């Protein structure tokens, strides 16, 4: 690079600064530019760590959390660890708030790979009352304030469970008092503060509220899951992974009821699974049919390469399944063949 020279034969410093300053600005800003353009895609996100207060009410937490990984989760919890690993679990941070005259408050923050996984954990239990953590007052919580159609936080008997981005959290007061309830909800607000309300999994919006003629969706039965271990905790099909489920799968199960005043309501169980592609879905269906329906021949639908519909009488009613491209819809415990066929047609 050629510099201007002053009258004494020295480089002109004013000219040097004019050239170098823009260059230095670009160099200094480059890390931020690269960071902004290299965010994960496909729903995977890097979740900022919640800023939990050191003290809330009478309770104080230690300076750093207990860190739980996939390798140590079974040391931390007995048995339930499988449910968390059934989703795309990254790590867990545990805080214990202690007070001089009251029992502890436990805070568990689960960092998942995606928002869908965090939603799935909340969907395993819709018990409790919706809590609106976006407002300072919790006297009249709005369950659907996010517009998603699903509550993002549920509180009951001292336990708050919430979904916020790729974080799922459990905040539990070992003894519920008015003061501990305020503390639990304050901690919940700290967890969600500054985070965007992402939508629930796309697949979760597919179950219609009513299947004709008179089957009604039980809202508290809708669950999002990925693996067969979670499915078996919801609806047991067998110890084998006969549906070839894995972390790349997306699945929803739900229950529809038909009211009958003279006896208990009749029920139909729906399971809908989306695979990575058609070949994966077809392979899973063939495996399911061979394991679950060995006595029934598989009947192909002529003229449709990417679709297959079959109905079969089994022990607890009629079973229907419908393969459409990369998605399979199952209907279990249907009262008759006509209902079974109609149900899988109505689930879009």
DSSP 159: E
34 shares its domain with 60: no
In terms of residue numbers, what domain contains 208? 202-346
> Is the Cβ–Cβ distance between 74 and 81 less than 8 Å?
yes
Work out the angle at residue 260's Cα, subtended by the Cα atoms of residues 203 and 268, and round it to the nearest 5 degrees: 30
DSSP 11: B
More confident residue, 13 or 91: 91
273 shares its domain with 303: yes
Q: Which of 192, 219, 252 finishes a domain?
A: 192
More confident residue, 123 or 28: 123
Q: Which of 192, 225, 260 finishes a domain?
A: 192
207 shares its domain with 153: no
Does residue 43 lie in a domain region? Answer: no
Separation between Cα atoms, residue 85 and residue 77, nearest integer Å: 12
Task: Summarize pLDDT for 36-67 with one digit per residue, the tens.
Answer: 333 333 445 555 789 999 999 999 999 999 99
> Is the Cβ–Cβ distance between 169 and 49 less than 8 Å?
no
Alpha-helical segments (H) within the chain: 13-36, 73-76, 81-85, 115-123, 178-192, 228-234, 278-292, 337-346
Does residue 46 lie in a domain region? Answer: no
Domains: count for the chain: 3
Does residue 163 lie in a domain region? Answer: yes
Quick one: which of 40, 56, 166 has its CA closest to 102? Answer: 56
90 shares its domain with 165: yes
17-to-27, 121, 183, 259 alpha-carbon distances in Å: 15, 57, 56, 81
Does residue 44 lie in a domain region? Answer: no
Separation between Cα atoms, residue 188 and residue 207, nearest integer Å: 30
Task: Summarize pLDDT for 108-127 with one digit per residue, the tens.
Answer: 999 999 999 999 999 999 99
Quick one: which of 24, 25, 191, 36 has its CA closest to 111? Answer: 191
Separation between Cα atoms, residue 338 and residue 331, nearest integer Å: 12
For residue 338 the two structure tokens come to 């006509």
265 shares its domain with 283: yes
One-character DSSP codes across 290-302: HHH-TTS-----T
Report the pLDDT value the prediction gives residue 1, as an integer from 0 to 100.
Answer: 46
Does residue 50 lie in a domain region? Answer: no
Task: Summarize pLDDT for 219-265 with one digit per residue, the tens.
Answer: 999 999 999 999 999 999 999 999 999 999 999 999 999 887 566 66
> Is the Cβ–Cβ distance between 331 and 346 less than 8 Å?
no
> Is the Cβ–Cβ distance between 207 and 218 less than 8 Å?
no
More confident residue, 72 or 16: 72
Report the pLDDT value the prediction gives residue 53, as an integer from 0 to 100.
Answer: 96
Separation between Cα atoms, residue 342 and residue 278, nearest integer Å: 23
Mean of pLDDT over the chain: 84
Alpha carbons within 13 A on the beta-carbon side of 221: 17
Does residue 110 lie in a domain region? Answer: yes
More confident residue, 25 or 153: 153
Detail the DSSP E strand segments found in the chain. Answer: 55-56, 59-60, 66-68, 89-97, 105-112, 129-130, 153-156, 159-164, 167-173, 210-211, 215-217, 223-225, 250-258, 266-274, 307-314, 317-324, 327-334
> Is the Cβ–Cβ distance between 158 and 173 less than 8 Å?
yes
> Is the Cβ–Cβ distance between 86 and 230 less than 8 Å?
yes
260 shares its domain with 310: yes
134 shares its domain with 111: yes
Task: Summarize pLDDT for 270-319 with one digit per residue, the tens.
Answer: 999 999 999 999 999 999 999 999 999 888 876 667 789 999 999 989 99
What is the percent of the chain with per-residue pLDDT over 70, rounded to a whole number? 80
Report the pLDDT value the prediction gives residue 250, as an integer from 0 to 100.
Answer: 97
């Amino acid at each position: 690079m050629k510099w201007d020279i002053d009258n004494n034969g020295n480089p002109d410093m004013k000219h040097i600064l004019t050239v170098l300053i823009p260059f230095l600005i670009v160099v200094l800003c480059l890390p931020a530019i690269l960071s902004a353009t290299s965010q994960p895609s496909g729903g995977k996100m890097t979740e900022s760590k919640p800023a939990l207060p050191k003290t809330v009410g009478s309770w104080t937490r230690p300076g750093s959390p207990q860190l739980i990984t996939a390798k140590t989760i079974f040391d931390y919890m007995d048995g339930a660890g499988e449910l968390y690993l059934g989703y795309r679990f990254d790590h867990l941070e545990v805080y214990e708030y202690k007070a001089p005259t009251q029992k502890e408050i436990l805070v568990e923050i689960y960092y998942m790979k995606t928002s869908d996984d965090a939603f799935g954990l909340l969907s395993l239990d819709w018990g409790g009352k919706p809590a609106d953590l976006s407002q300072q007052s919790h006297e009249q919580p709005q369950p659907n304030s996010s517009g998603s159609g699903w509550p993002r936080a549920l509180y009951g008997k001292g336990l708050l469970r919430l979904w916020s981005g790729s974080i799922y959290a459990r905040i539990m007061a070992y003894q519920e008092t008015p003061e501990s309830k305020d503390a639990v909800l304050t901690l919940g607000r700290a967890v969600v503060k500054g985070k965007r309300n992402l939508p629930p999994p796309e697949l979760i919006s597919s179950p219609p509220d009513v299947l004709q003629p008179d089957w009604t969706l039980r809202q508290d039965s809708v669950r999002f899951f990925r693996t067969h271990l979670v499915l078996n905790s919801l609806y047991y099909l067998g110890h084998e992974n006969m549906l070839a489920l894995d972390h790349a799968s997306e699945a929803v199960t739900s229950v529809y009821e038909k009211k009958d005043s003279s006896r208990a309501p009749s029920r139909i169980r729906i399971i809908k699974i989306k695979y990575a592609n058609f070949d994966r879905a077809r392979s899973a269906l063939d495996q399911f049919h061979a394991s679950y329906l060995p006595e029934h021949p598989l009947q192909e639908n002529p003229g449709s390469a990417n679709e297959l519909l079959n109905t079969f009488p089994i022990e607890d009613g009629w079973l229907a399944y419908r393969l459409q491209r990369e998605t399979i819809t199952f209907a279990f415990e249907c009262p008759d063949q006509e209902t079974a066929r109609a149900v899988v047609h109505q689930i879009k």
